[in-house]
Structure 1
Amino acid sequence: MKNVSLWMLALALPMSSCAQSKPEACAPEFSNATIRVMPVAMPLQAGYVTIRNRCKTTLEITAVRSQAWKDVSLHSTQVVKGVSKMREIPVLKIAPGASLQMAPGGSHLMLMDPTRDIKAGGSVDLNFVSRDGRVFRVPFSLKAI
């Protein structure tokens, strides 16, 4: 009986450890993250990044935060009747397997009211918040225009 009990325990241990381990959540890929820094201190900068959704569900970015600015917002530039207009957007939606490239004249980040001196040559972290509450910390290079 002891041999049978030990054998059953040996079989149960690997199964219980498998049942307790959770697969890692799918995460987007961020690349080419840069913030344009003006040669003189300005109350706002623009940020650009490429976001690739490697997951099987739509990625929804609802906010971006940083300790280096009081406000970071998602923006889109559109040409309406020949006039370029910037609009704040509430959410960035990226379909499964798709990428979004933030670039001048399109989607971008507006970084307003810096909390410290922002100079080209360094880097700063921005935190992208998804609708499901996950936070993705992304280092951005600070580059002179």
Structure 2
Amino acid sequence: MTSFCAKRVKQLALGLSLIGMAWQVSAQTQVSDAWVRATVAGQPSTGAFMTLQADTDSQLLSVQSPVAKTVQIHQMSMKDDVMKMGQVESVALPAGKPVSLDPSGYHIMLMDLTAQVKEGSKVPLTLIVENAKGEKETINIEAEAKALGTMDHGSMMDHSKMH
């Protein structure tokens, strides 16, 4: 009887450790504080912002949303007192370190909007993240639309004349 119990305990322990490994595999990238700047009628573009944290070295490759015909990852930077802004191919997500997408750095541009993004609405976003092994992860989130006055970077978010 004792060896039967010991065998069951070992099987249970193995099963629990396998469940733990499965949890670690599925919890690759966490998204927090996701929000989108609300727009006024006729505004062609807006920005999406959030914090990303990956369990392993990864990169944000792309973002999609049904509210915009074009979605790009952009970076704003200052060099020699000149603000530069433009599209980037990806954003590095170092293992265990939070990476902030905000109006003054990396951010997501939603361009050619299909409708006004109203304050309080939820904006669906699909993020594609790839880890160092080449494994891709699809993350679906809903970002809350916040008022234009949330941060005073409204003029920086008009990328309609960018090439």
- For residues 69-95 of structure 1, give each alpha carbon's deviation from its aligned partner in whole angstroms, at most 9, with x where no partner exists: 111111110112211111211111111
Q: TM-score, normalised by structure 2?
A: 0.71
In the TM superposition, 1:3-18 aligns within 5 A as 18=15
Larger radius of gyration, structure 1 or 2? Answer: 1
For residue 147 of structure 2, what is the aligned residue in structure 1?
Answer: 144
Are the equivalent residues in 1 in contact too, given 2:58–2:95 (CA < 8 A)?
yes
Alignment of 1:92-131 (within 5 A): 92-131=91-130
CA RMSD of aligned residues (A): 2.4
- Provide, for residues 29-86 of structure 1, a one-character-per-residue CA deviation record: whole Å limited to 9, x for no partner: 1111111123332110011101122x1x212110001111111111110112211111
SS at match of 1:134: strand
**1 or 2, which has the higher helix percentage?**
2
Counterpart of 1:134, as a letter, is: E
Letter in 1 for 2:69: K
Aligned match of 2:81: 82
Aligned residue number for residue 51 of structure 1: 52
Superposed structure 1 runs of 4+ greater than 4 Å apart: none
Provide the identity percentage: 22
In structure 1, the residue corresponding to 2:103 is in which secondary structure?
Answer: coil
Local SS of the residue matching 1:23: helix
Unaligned runs of 5+ in 1: 1-6
Question: Is the contact between residue 62 and residue 129 of structure 1 (CA under 8 Å) also seen in structure 2?
Answer: yes
